Amino acid sequence: MFTSVAGRSVIVTGASKGIGKGIAAVFAAAGATVTITGRDEQALVATAAELGCDWFAADTSDPEACAALAATVVERHGGIDVLCANAGIFPSATLAEMTPADLAHVMGTNFNGTVYAVQACLPALAASGHGRVVVTSSITGPITGYPGWSHYGASKAAQLGFVRTAAIELAPQGITINAVLPGNIATEGLLGLGEEYRAGMTAAIPQRRLGSVADIGNAALFLATDEAGFITGQTIVVDGGQVLPESPEALEGI
Ligand code: NAP
């Protein structure tokens, strides 16, 4: 049992629902002091009450909001040991219809927002002596593609390019940074894509189920432990085997 996150100060961005909420729940159960963020204050209040954690409203695509988040958590909880940079959006737009504003919105939230959150927390993570950053990327972009998500996939692949160089820069300060690549996870956001999408994805997963938010939370928790301290700049795919079949026939009869 990994116990080393007990008492540590953890920020999870985009945690009023979905994967972020699942990550926050796993860290809270492990005894960490968790602060969740998002833009919708009402949703944050409800989730924080449910999980027994703190909250701070912040749009992570805004560097000033990220700075305010980091300063507030340091003031309230004495520091930041772990940042789970999870906030993200996945609107669909084919290349034929995508506008510059669509592209800027997705990159600004998913990629720039990840960088801003990490930058804002850096001094506190360094002061922690065992700083940890866990980025929520995706299989979509780094490994797979899906029509309508060229901008989304690019933003998720961009996070990995960032992680690899950040890992080198942050190593001397004792900070590790890694990424979790979820497959299809049953979140409010994903279920909002409709029954046809859900059924198609379930059929494409060798384990024949969507992932749970706890599946991602547990991977993030491991990367945040002292025991994972020699792992940095790496990725863990958590997808029930979805990226493995070479063709649809590989799943027939299993
Ligand atoms: P979700 O259910 O839609 O939840 C997204 C969360 O992020 C909400 O709490 C939302 O709250 C917050 N958020 C969105 N934009 C934000 C911003 N600019 N600043 C701060 N918070 C923001 O989404 P999800 O499915 O859990 O996805 C979470 C992450 O996992 C994303 O990075 C996504 O790319 C990744 N992912 C998901 C799946 C999946 O199957 N679900 C698969 C691969 C990767 P507010 O709207 O109130 O801000």
Q: What confidence tens digit (pLDDT) does each residue in 86-98 have?
A: 999 999 999 999 9
The single residue of 116, 146, 152, 197 carrying the catalytic annotation is: 152
| 252 is a domain residue | no
State which ligand 1 atom lies nearest to the alpha carbon of 210. Answer: 40
153 Cβ inside 6 Å of ligand 1: no
- Residue 181: half-sphere exposure toward Cβ, Cα within 13 Å: 24
Q: How far apart are CA 195 and CA 86, in angstroms?
A: 25
| 146 is a domain residue | yes
Q: Which domain holds residue 23?
A: 9-238
Query: Quick one: pLDDT band at residue 253, thresholds 50, 70, 90?
Result: confident
| 67 is a domain residue | yes
87 Cβ inside 6 Å of ligand 1: yes
CATH number at residue 113: 3.40.50.720
| 218 is a domain residue | yes
pLDDT at 1: 63
- Quickly list H helices, the chain: 18-29, 41-51, 63-77, 100-106, 113-128, 150-170, 188-191, 195-203, 213-224
Distance 253 CA to ligand 1 centre (A): 35
pLDDT tens track for 140-162: 999 999 999 999 999 999 999 99
Total domains present in the chain: 1
**Annotated catalytic, 197?**
no
pLDDT tens track for 157-216: 999 999 999 999 999 999 999 999 999 999 988 899 899 999 999 999 999 999 999 999
| 246 is a domain residue | no
